A and B are shown apart, each in its own frame.
Chain A
Amino acid sequence: MKRSRSGLAAILPFLWLAVFFAFPFLLVGKLSLSHTVLAIPPYAPQLHLSQGLPGFRTFLAGLSGETYARLTQDRLYLDAYLSSLRIAGLAAGLLLLIGYPIAYGIARCPPKARQALVMAVILPFWTSFLIRIYAWIAILKPAGVLNAALGLVGLGPVEILNTETAVLIGLVYAYLPFMVLPLYAVLDREDESLIEAAQDLGATPLSAFWRVTFPLSLPGAAAGALLCFIPMAGEFVIPDLLGGSETLMLGRVIWTEFFANRDWPAASAVAIVLLATLVVPIVLFEREQAKVLS
């Protein structure tokens, strides 16, 4: 294929993303300006293209910011918003602390072992997410594996299931591969002679690490942290299964508004707020990604 024509291959993926990814966001935006009614679908106003321009005018006149106003009046939404960002931020920090030594350890291994270890990090990601979170219920529940193990050494019991700690454990567990892989990618590429040079100039191994390896690995750390933070802020399954009724997160709020309350405009408005918050991290992530790929 000639380079000049290869761009044509983009047409189909482009159209696909436009129809199934970009355009639906406009619909979410539109719906967030609607209000709830008892009907199918449960919102108004509806846009009927068959009614032409007058129909479009009535439609526009029917839109309002009422749903957003409702969000600001109820404490629940603000609390859920703040705790989503706090929990996702905390989990991203923990992931960095836990993922870094693992990625660094793998990068120090001999090449054969490295390949197998990278594979071993990816493998859990291929097995069902839902099932892996479910496994933690059996571990953390009051009569679960953890408390049985603690009982053997005369400790516990501890109550972890249905707390924020359980949510953090679940997030760190589920997203660990997403943190280790970008970190490993930068650590693996590092030029060993830089460390040797630093040590020849009298740096101890530890200070060589802090002043050479660590700064060079920051792009990988940033990519990993963003890759985890963004979806974690909207996570539904983990807070729902491990967090009990007290852990409020936006992903859960959207789910409840939609499925339990059948309040589609509220679910859409919360989704828009979450999306608006995540735009900056998403743009940052794309920049890091572009840097890594170039």
Chain B
Amino acid sequence: MRRGPSTFNIASVVLGMAFLYAPIVILVVYSFNASRLVTVWGGFSTRWYAALFQDQQMLDAIWVTARVGVLSATLATLLGVLAAVALVRGGGFRGRTILAGGIYATLVMPEVILGLSLLLLFVAAGLPRGFWTVTLSHATLTLAYTTMVIQARLGSFDISLEEAAQDLGCPPWKAFALITLPVIAPAVAAAWMLAFTLSLDDLVIASFTSGPGATTLPMRLYSQVRLGVDPKINAVSTLLIGVVATGVIAVYLLRQRRAPA
């Protein structure tokens, strides 16, 4: 039997959630504020959204970011599935510790260091900086997250199902694709989503590895934020939050339905 939460427990959770969500709520509310000042409520208005859709530079940046996000998330998810299979099922293969170590190191590595080192790689390789260099860099950045999400799900998967298929003559890759993959699919989808949002969000690595013509949304936002608070940024933020929250809740519900805990 678990003891129920005490008043102190409830208070800490409620305060914690308030701390996490208050800034986001404020941001969303003020994106609909007719006034330019944060502290003055000038009535409900969608003028900042209208202004946003006339800002061609912002729209271009959104388009670049979306493409980078989709490509890099797909790359990172493919690599993540492979890495998770190796880590969960590889047993004691040589280099398991090195692979796990490398993956966790990318997870905690300060972004400035990662960005600088990737940039030097592209300079040394003579690759022109732009769309592709950001995409490759984001795949590297998000690989650790996709691996961890998929690894967690694969770890609890009953491998004997796959072994049974193989005993009945199914080739290993086919058994994986037909039996394991459908079961871990929600986790793979969640991993992709996570990689996509992380890519959508990254400023530091994109700034180092991007070039002319490939300005991402965070780079654009950053240069505007430095000039001060602008309600148009609240509008674009609200849209982003809406997209991401919808996606996350959808994945969550999907997982609830498939794997009742």
- Which chain A residues have a beta carbon within 8 Å of chain B's beta carbons? 1-10, 12-14, 16-17, 19-25, 27-28, 31, 41, 98, 101-102, 104-106, 108-111, 115, 117, 119-124, 126-132, 134-139, 141, 143-145, 147-148, 173, 176-177, 180, 192, 195, 226-227, 230-231, 233-237, 241, 250-251, 254-255, 258-259, 264, 267-268, 271, 274-275, 278, 282, 285-286, 289-290
Cβ B37 vs Cβ A143 within 8 A:
yes
Please, how many angstroms separate the alpha-carbon atoms of A127 and B245 in the complex?
8
Determine how close the nearest CB of chain A comes to the CB of B129; give it in whole angstroms: 11
Interface flag for B112 (CB, 8 Å): yes
Q: Are B2 and A192 in contact (CB under 8 A)?
A: yes
Would A126 and B194 count as touching, CB distance under 8 A? yes
What 16 additional pairs, Cβ within 8 angstroms, besides A24-B117, A128-B240, A173-B20? Answer: A1-B162, A5-B172, A7-B90, A13-B79, A13-B86, A16-B140, A20-B136, A28-B113, A102-B12, A123-B245, A128-B218, A134-B225, A226-B108, A282-B105, A282-B109, A290-B100
A121, B20: Cβ atoms closer than 8 Å: yes
Q: Does B52 contact A (CB under 8 A)?
A: no
Nearest B residue (CB) for A147 = B39
Given contacts A12-B82, A127-B240, whether A21 and B105 have CB atoms under 8 Å apart is yes
Contact of A176 among B16, B85, B137, B229 (CB under 8 A): B16
Flag if A10 contacts B166 (CB, 8 Å): no
| B215 CB, min distance to chain A CBs, angstroms | 14
- Is there a chain A Cβ closer than 8 Å to B221's Cβ? yes
Closest Cβ neighbor of B79 among chain A residues: A13
Question: Is residue B21 within 8 Å, beta carbon to beta carbon, of the partner chain?
Answer: yes
Closest to A109 in B: B5
The answer to whether A254 and B116 have CB atoms under 8 Å apart is: yes
- Identify which of B15, B110, B140 gathers the most chain A CB atoms within 10 Å of its CB: B110
A101 to B8, CA, bound (A): 8
Once the chains are docked, how many angstroms separate the CA of A177 from the CA of B11? 18
Q: Are A108 and B103 also in contact (CB < 8 A) when A1-B172, A28-B120, A144-B38 are? A: no
Main secondary structure of the interface of B (DSSP, over half): helix
Q: Is B175 part of the contact surface with A, judged by Cβ < 8 Å?
A: yes
Inter-chain contacts of B173 with A (CB < 8 A): 1
Contact of B24 with A6 in the complex, beta carbons under 8 Å: no
Task: For B166, give its contact among A2, A16, A141, A289 (CB under 8 Å).
Answer: A2
Residues of B within 8 A of A120 (CB): 17, 20
Q: Kindly state the separation between the CA atoms of A104 and B3 in the bound complex, as whole angstroms.
A: 12
Q: Which residue of B lies closest to A258 (CB)?
A: B116
- CB-based contact B24/A124 at 8 Å: yes
Most chain B beta-carbon neighbours within 10 Å: one of A108, A119, A132, A282: A108
A127 touches B244 (CB 8 A): yes
- Cα distance, A124 to B52, chains bound together (Å): 23
A290 to B98, CA, bound (A): 12
* Bound CA span A120–B9, Å: 16
A-B contact list, 30 entries, CB within 8 Å: A1-B172, A7-B86, A7-B94, A10-B90, A13-B80, A13-B83, A17-B140, A27-B121, A102-B12, A105-B9, A105-B13, A108-B9, A110-B2, A110-B4, A120-B17, A126-B248, A128-B244, A130-B222, A130-B225, A131-B237, A135-B26, A136-B23, A192-B2, A234-B111, A235-B110, A251-B112, A254-B116, A268-B116, A282-B105, A286-B101
Question: Given that A6-B91, A131-B241, A134-B237 are contacting pairs, would A271 and B117 also be in contact in the complex, using a CB cutoff of 8 Å?
Answer: yes
Instruction: Give residues in B with beta carbon < 8 Å to A.
Output: 1-6, 8-13, 15-17, 19-21, 23-24, 26-27, 30, 37-39, 79-80, 82-83, 85-91, 93-96, 98-114, 116-118, 120-121, 123-124, 136-137, 139-140, 143, 147, 162, 166, 172-173, 175-176, 180, 194, 197, 200-201, 203-204, 207-208, 218, 221-222, 225-226, 229, 233, 237, 240-241, 244-245, 248, 252, 261
Question: Across the interface, which residues of A come within 8 angstroms of B233, CB to CB?
Answer: 131, 134
Partner of B79, one of A16, A105, A236: A16
The 7 closest A-B pairs by CB, nearest first: A234-B110, A7-B93, A24-B117, A10-B86, A101-B12, A6-B89, A102-B16
B140 → chain A, closest Cβ, in Å? 4
A58 to B85, CA, bound (A): 46
